[in-house]
Chain A
């Protein structure tokens, strides 16, 4: 069965700290991978995506993620977080055969000023 797991339910950091949010997926074939962010009171927005090619992808607002196929992982990173990064972060996968998206349960990030 296809699934996405996220390592942390809630992460609390101080401003300027480095961030890494874990994401693992379960699927035997080719996948497209995504990180979405949901700021308080706003829509889900795409942070970054991986379809193929360079496994290190860069997204908006200084975020990046690394696809490690052997570990079925797609961890999200940011070297220095800001208070405005406080949000819910969702990892998602889309099997390469073009079927539905599968979302992880989300990680709530709280950045303290």
Chain B
């Protein structure tokens, strides 16, 4: 079975630009979460989507947005990029029942974003 996939693998942008990161969950998983992992730190929660609805949002500015499509894939958008947005962006999917997380999250390989 394919795991969680993310694209692109690496991305270099300049300040002020916007970026779109993509994620495909494991087949059958309806919940997708996004995390930012800065070098040397643990992942920080950005968003969680379930059945195309936002279920949770972390402490990130409005420049960060996301959406989930009918096939449960997801996009993370970041506008007006700052140098501090440079990080590994992780996507995770989980097999949830209803609106409650019941299991572990399976992580993708991440997208390494560098903002110059």
Inter-chain contact B101/A94, CB cutoff 8 Å: yes
In the complex, which range does the number of interface residues on chain B fall in?
Answer: 20 to 34
Count the A-B residue pairs with Cβ separation under 8 angstroms: how many?
57
Q: Which residues of B sit under 8 angstroms from A46, Cβ to Cβ?
A: 104-106
Interface 1/0 per residue, B70-110 and A, CB below 8 Å: 00000000000000000000101000100111001111111
Residue of A nearest to B31 (CB): A98
Interface 1/0 per residue, B32-58 and A, CB below 8 Å: 010100001111110010000001101
Inter-chain contact B33/A100, CB cutoff 8 Å: yes
Interface check A71, CB cutoff 8 A: no
Inter-chain contact B43/A103, CB cutoff 8 Å: yes
Q: Which residues of A sit under 8 angstroms from B108, Cβ to Cβ?
A: 43
Q: Which residues of B sit under 8 angstroms from A94, Cβ to Cβ?
A: 101
Residue of B nearest to A104 (CB): B42
Q: Which residues of A sit under 8 angstroms from B110, Cβ to Cβ?
A: 43
Inter-chain contact B101/A105, CB cutoff 8 Å: no
Residues of chain A whose beta carbon lies under 8 Å from any beta carbon of chain B: 4, 32, 34, 36, 43-46, 49, 90, 92, 94, 97-106
Complex Cα distance A4/B44, Å? 11
Asked if A100 meets B45 with Cβ closer than 8 Å, knowing A43-B3, A43-B109, A44-B90, the reply is yes
Inter-chain contact A103/B42, CB cutoff 8 Å: yes
Complex Cα distance A67/B106, Å? 22
Inter-chain contact B99/A90, CB cutoff 8 Å: no
Complex Cα distance A99/B45, Å? 10
Q: Which residues of B sit under 8 angstroms from A49, Cβ to Cβ?
A: 104
